[in-house]
Structure 1
Amino acid sequence: MGLKESLDSVFRFLPEIEKPRRKPPLSERLLWTALVLVAYFVMGQTPLYGIPRQTQGTLGALEFLRVVMASKRGTLIELGIGPIVTSGIVWELLVGSRIVNLDLTTPEGRRTFAGLQKLTAFLFAALEAAAYILGGVYGALTQQQQIIVFVQLFVASTFVILMNDMLEKGWGIGSAVSLFIAAGVAQQIFWELFSPIGPLGDGLYYGLFPSLFSALVSGNSTLLMHVVVRPSGYPDLVGFVGMVVMLLLLTYMESMKITIPVSSVRFGGAKTRIPLKFLYVSVMPVILVGALYANVVMFTQALWPRVNPGNQNPWLNVIAKYNYTEYGPVPLPGSFVYYISPPRSLASALADPVHLVVYSLLYIGFAVLFGVAWILTSGMDPETQAEQLAKAQLQIPGFRKSEKVIASMLKRYIWGLTILSSIIIGVIAVVSDIFRVMGGGTGILLLVGIIVQYYSILASERALEMYPSLARLIGE
């Protein structure tokens, strides 16, 4: 039995959602998408059984990455989309670097790639669940409690993987990865704007608008200044203004395009233009960098109490050093984990400029790396795009009909856009996190990109339903 046959036999044992026999109408797909979203919110409000109540809401070193992982502390979606995204990182790097040779232009290659991703996602779900438990995230648990928590985390992750499978197979719109991230960011922004919890240590409420109303009613100028800039890290007016500016800036940048002239052989040389988005890589590098950071933090938290107790080993200290507090492990300066953790305010960034510079360079560097890997594995590279244009009988005006000519023209734009857009979204994420933009800089970046993506999908689906002849023309 060859490797392919062995893999196929393993894939058959994996739980999966069958593709619909016919493409469901848009209304039905929207209904399934809404039900998946409701299930996500219900799981996010269901606490894990068997963990101490005081650990359900504590903050940890992973807190700044939860928006990327669409996870919520102490609930069934503790792992969020982490296993799915981590699996994607592994196989994109392996295939993109040609360590594993898979032809993603063929149906068989794409099926094998999808099967390997799903298999690895289940393995990472088990590993991450074990890492949370062994790392002491929930405090000291008995063996029975550990088993109960592990089963809950693994089963919940299985449901998340299947919900993503369901949407991507055509039952819904988009993917669960994008849907859950957007929903989590929107929920966080709503909470930061309107949460009535309070009063807190500064005499204000947690949410911005209740705090602003309370300060205006009291007429206390000190309270009003605290609403503008809250040193304690709660939502403030500066973060709200930053969020609005970021939304407008990113929406504008998402609409920017570079067009390449082509002509159609099929329609007598009719000329048109192929648009390439300025933010060519969209938000995928941010998601992948977040997943990488989350796994590094997660597994070092699990291993370090056993392999490097008290930060005794100077070699292991280069990777991670932790100060274990009542709020969880806190990374200490001088370690890799410390430098991949963002400065949480402008003041802390200025107090440790080395941290700011190293964090920024690492984040932007990884964003570029994952941007290139994503382009290679998602069929957005010049060669694959040229092949698709050639099949559609399009060519560059003034040149002979050839895939190589089209690919040569696309290379001038695609690789430059890939690197430039990866750098831009990396810089935006870093700057907005430093200025504590409401919803998180990374969160706003993801939210805008995902909303634009969903808008494009819905517009396309509605056009295909309104004009069936168009659907037949493009083979839908």
Structure 2
Amino acid sequence: MSLQDSLNSFFRILPEVTRPARKPSLSERLLWTGVILIIYFIMGQVPLYGIPRQTQGGIGALEFLRIVMASKRGTLIELGIGPIVTAGIVWELLVGSKLINLDLTTPEGRKTFAGLQKLTAFLFAAIEALAYIWGGVYGALTQQQQILVFIQLFIASTFIILMNDMLEKGWGIGSAVSLFIAAGVAQQIFWELFSPIGPLADGLYYGFFPSLVVALARGNSTLIMYAISRPAGYPDLVGFLGMIAMLLVLTYMESMKILIPVSSTRFGGVKTRIPLKFLYVSVMPVILVGALYANIAMFTQVLWPRVNPGNQNPWLNIIARYNYTEYGPVPLPGSLVYYISPPRSLASALHDPVHLVVYALLYIGLAVLFGVAWILTSGMDPETQAEQLVEAQLQIPGFRKSEKVIASMLRRYIWGLTILSSIIIGVIAVLSDLLRVMGGGTGILLLVGIIIQYYSILASERALEMYPSLARLIGE
């Protein structure tokens, strides 16, 4: 028995959701997707039992990374989709860099890859839960409390992994990763627009619209200026307009495509065109960069009070230095964690331009790296796309019906689009974070990409249900 067969046998003992015996209708899949989303929201409102109340809330200096993790502090979704995405990062880098030779063009290879990702996700769920507990995130806990919190976090992460498994195996639409991120960003935007909490230190409310109404009603020029640009970092007019601008720009760019002419040998040389999205990598590099940053921030925040108290170790200070405040740990200049956290305003960027430059270069560079890795592991590389075209009996007019020839033609476009789109989404994420866009720059980028992705999936599914002959034609 080969190693791959042994692994596949071992994967059978992992919790999993079986595929439906028949493909559910679109309405059934929408229903299951809605049920999963409701369960996620409910889990986000259930506090962890056994931890002090004061550790169930709060906003840390790196709280913005929770958007990418779709997590909520002190609740059952404390770890969010972190274990799933982190496992994806590990295996995409290992397989994409050829450190592990796994043929993803075969069903057996893809099955092994999925099994390894799931196994690693369970391992990371346990590791991250232990890191939170032993790192003192929930304060000093007794041994009984530690075991209780670990069980809650691990079981909740298992539910999230299985919900993702359920969606990806055809019970719902899309993936739990995309669904939970989009839901979390939409929830945050709604909160920033309409939250009635307050009045705060500047005399306004947390939400933008309640603050604007109060400022205009009082006719106070100082309050009106605060509503336009709030120095405390609360939602303001600049962030609101920035959000609208980013939504329009990203929606337009997501609609841009490069059309590759092909002809069908199956249907007598009928010509058509295959669209390649201008933002070819979509939002995956942003998710992966955000997940990497979130894991670095999480492990240093929870471990540093024990391994580097008082920032005494000069070598560990290179990785992270924190000033612990009532609002959470604040990264100090000169450490890696400081440079992977974005400048929170134009004023802070002007005060420390080196921070902005290093943050931007790191973010964009990693976006390109993860973009290339994602293309290699997701079957979107030129060679895999060429193989699929040949299997569908399509060819590029004027070229021989050969995988190598078609791959050479596609290579001119795909790798250029991969690098360019990775750079563009990296730049957009950096700029929108700098402008304090509502929902966060990374969050808005993810939200637009995921909504368009879901729109495309729904349009495709509706077309297949309306025209069954089309489904038979493409082998659905």
Matches within 5 A, 1:296-445: 296-445=296-445
What residue is the counterpart of 2:151 in the other structure? 151
Does residue 26 in structure 1 map to residue 23 in structure 2?
Answer: no
Q: Say how many residue pairs are matched.
A: 476
Tell me the alpha carbon deviations over residues 228-284 of structure 1, each in whole angstroms, 9 at most, x when there is no partner: 000011100110000000000000000000011112212222221111000000000
Q: Is the 8 A contact 2:70 2:181 kept in 1?
A: yes
Matches within 5 A, 1:15-164: 15-164=15-164
Q: Work out the CA distance in 2 between the residues paired with 1:9 and 1:61.
A: 44
For the residue of structure 2 that corresponds to 1:174, the secondary structure is: coil
Deviation at 1:5, TM superposition (A): 3.4
Q: Is the 8 A contact 2:135 2:306 kept in 1?
A: no
- AA in 1 matched with 2:98: R
Q: Work out the CA distance in 2 between the residues paired with 1:68 and 1:137.
A: 20
What residue ranges of structure 1 are gaps of 5+ in the alignment? none
Q: Work out the CA distance in 2 between the residues paired with 1:406 and 1:38.
A: 45
Q: Is the 8 A contact 1:61 1:297 kept in 2?
A: no
Matches within 5 A, 1:188-337: 188-337=188-337
Q: Work out the CA distance in 1 between the residues paired with 2:112 and 2:98.
A: 15
- AA in 1 matched with 2:38: V
For the residue of structure 2 that corresponds to 1:50, the secondary structure is: coil
Deviation at 1:346, TM superposition (A): 1.1
What residue is the counterpart of 1:459 in the other structure? 459
- AA in 2 matched with 1:430: V
Tell me the alpha carbon deviations over residues 29-58 of structure 1, each in whole angstroms, 9 at most, x when there is no partner: 000000000000000111111111112221
Q: Work out the CA distance in 1 between the residues paired with 2:305 and 2:55.
A: 18
Q: Work out the CA distance in 2 between the residues paired with 1:305 and 1:56.
A: 19
Deviation at 1:125, TM superposition (A): 0.4
Q: Work out the CA distance in 2 between the residues paired with 1:395 and 1:189.
A: 45
Tell me the alpha carbon deviations over residues 287-317 of structure 1, each in whole angstroms, 9 at most, x when there is no partner: 0001101111111223322322222221221
Tell me the alpha carbon deviations over residues 67-124 of structure 1, each in whole angstroms, 9 at most, x when there is no partner: 1111111111011100000000000000101111111111111110000000000000
Provide the alpha-carbon RMSD of the alignment: 1.0
Deviation at 1:62, TM superposition (A): 3.5
Cα 1:92–1:364 change in 2 (3 A) is same
Moved more, 129-138 or 284-293: 129-138
Give the TM-score normalised by structure 1: 0.98
Moved more, 402-411 or 4-13: 4-13
Moved over 6 A (4+): none
What residue is the counterpart of 1:449 in the other structure? 449
Deviation at 1:61, TM superposition (A): 4.1
- AA in 1 matched with 2:231: P
Cα 1:201–1:61 change in 2 (3 A) is closer
Moved more, 281-290 or 309-318: 309-318
Q: Is the 8 A contact 1:137 1:328 kept in 2?
A: no
Cα 1:218–1:61 change in 2 (3 A) is closer
Q: Work out the CA distance in 2 between the residues paired with 1:302 and 1:204.
A: 34
Q: Work out the CA distance in 2 between the residues paired with 1:199 and 1:311.
A: 36
Q: Work out the CA distance in 2 between the residues paired with 1:39 and 1:236.
A: 32
Q: Is the 8 A contact 2:396 2:406 kept in 1?
A: yes
Q: Work out the CA distance in 2 between the residues paired with 1:334 and 1:466.
A: 59
Q: Work out the CA distance in 1 between the residues paired with 2:398 and 2:166.
A: 45
- AA in 2 matched with 1:160: I
Deviation at 1:332, TM superposition (A): 1.1
Moved more, 398-407 or 414-423: 398-407
Q: Work out the CA distance in 2 between the residues paired with 1:394 and 1:385.
A: 11
What residue ranges of structure 2 are gaps of 5+ in the alignment? none
Q: Work out the CA distance in 1 between the residues paired with 2:61 and 2:466.
A: 49
Give the TM-score normalised by structure 2: 0.98
Tell me the alpha carbon deviations over residues 377-411 of structure 1, each in whole angstroms, 9 at most, x when there is no partner: 00000000000001111112112211111101100
- AA in 1 matched with 2:174: G
What residue is the counterpart of 1:4 in the other structure? 4
Deviation at 1:136, TM superposition (A): 1.7
Q: Work out the CA distance in 2 between the residues paired with 1:465 and 1:9.
A: 36
- AA in 1 matched with 2:203: G
- AA in 1 matched with 2:211: S
- AA in 1 matched with 2:307: V
